[in-house]
Structure 1
């Protein structure tokens, strides 16, 4: 099959297109395989909300639910078995991409229980268990970038497990994530591991920043602040572009070059939450304005289809934008909006939403086990 010209153009610009969705129905129907062939999809990300939706709206899990129910599995065990089964199958589907890209792409991410995000040791244990259960080289274990998660990220990477660091909103936290990544590789190398096999992405969230900042800009305007209108829809792109600057600088540092000489692969910036939530903004905004070689953009299917239909790409839209991006964040600060307050709120809110989805997933599984028990 011929690839869509717009997704091909994005791929040619050096962006890895990952799909932010997975379900057994998508696997069984061949939908995911088709997106690999026709829309340049080279990886998948999952999260508790994605799995909750998949379980609520699909019948593809009934057989496994019946088997689990009659084996005496509880809801926690069933969630573990069902999600790792889906991820294992997706890893197998992407095995060709994984081989063709020498392990850079063909990746499938699965997240640790978000309720453990403030518990370093439990996060490490959960990451090990997921990695062992999926039992595929191209799996990535997702760990939230909380303060407690930073230590877990370094520890898990040091054991040779590839990690997708998720829920990053702030530039300061992103620097800590990169440091944890390098610490993990340094320890892995010291322990005699082949660090060329250890990969990582840092998932920097985009659209939620605009949602929160724009809400605060509206309040500032109501309070008489001027110049706020021109800042609407600008914060998320500026924030992500400055993250790109941090990545560019960090992965050209002397510390990194030493790791690269030892076989290290750079942690890639992954742009997450790239579906626009404000209908007044372009539905491809967080793709076309965040294009640069070496980044990953994980998209919900709706955004992917919008890109395929009318996405226009004209080279790098990140590298030469750092000065203007700083001006945007300075303008937001001048409007009385605290950057720290925004990113702290978004992290807490993001964790809360994932915890709620996890609880919903457990509830859905409990109902399914009860329904299928002989």
Structure 2
């Protein structure tokens, strides 16, 4: 008879309007049997790290269209990316003691089956911190790689602007751009983060957008000849200001618009005529688009890490119970670097 153990979980209470609150995420303790049902094609894991990402807030909205594999269900554990250790498996691609990253639950133990098992990757390299697979070597890293290298078609000497530049995606985009020989400026919401962009991540310059009364003028100051590539993480007024400052045939890969996630009525964007005047290409994308590129991305980025050409900064909290506060803090700018929650350090 398989052992039955307690399982702490963060339960999604109900669909959210406006900013998420602690009461939207309920800490409970259930039980789980440490054995995968025979013939189920599932994997049972112990979760080691969970990733706190802005996308989680979007998934808390009530969907008006067809539900997807990531649609949240009230009364069920919150779903997000994490790093886990396989305890038992009925799936041919995974065996006991494998380390994996991918979609899992906000809980100590998860039974992962279709559709989320399609998003699991076996961890090939353990000569870097395992937590990196929630960030630089996981979904945020693949987002940065796909949006910059694959979608933006960067060239040496081009001017690149990155908003939310100290976050999980932005800090990597800026470093990729510097390695390409680009001129790179980032923006962030505190002077501490601005200093990090310049001193730690090697950006050519950076500014605190909260201290700029005129974003259009600020961007003109940093990019007097215009912006070739704007890596969009923010939306709203920032996007408006950028459009006026783009170069002819500029590119804007859009991976997120964090300024809009908690608004009941998203802001409209003016200046869209610049898309026509300057022949600007703006294209939204999703990390899923680049799953086939993951091996290529992994080899390149790991090499840069090992050679010291790329650095990464994490903001680490301990314990599953800290996850709701971490998510709320993400939208208040409390984190400095990639926000990670540690559930267990047994594999460090």
Task: Give the TM-score normalised by structure 1.
Answer: 0.30
Asked which structure has the greater RCO (Cα within 8 Å, sep 6+), the reply is 1
Higher strand share: 2
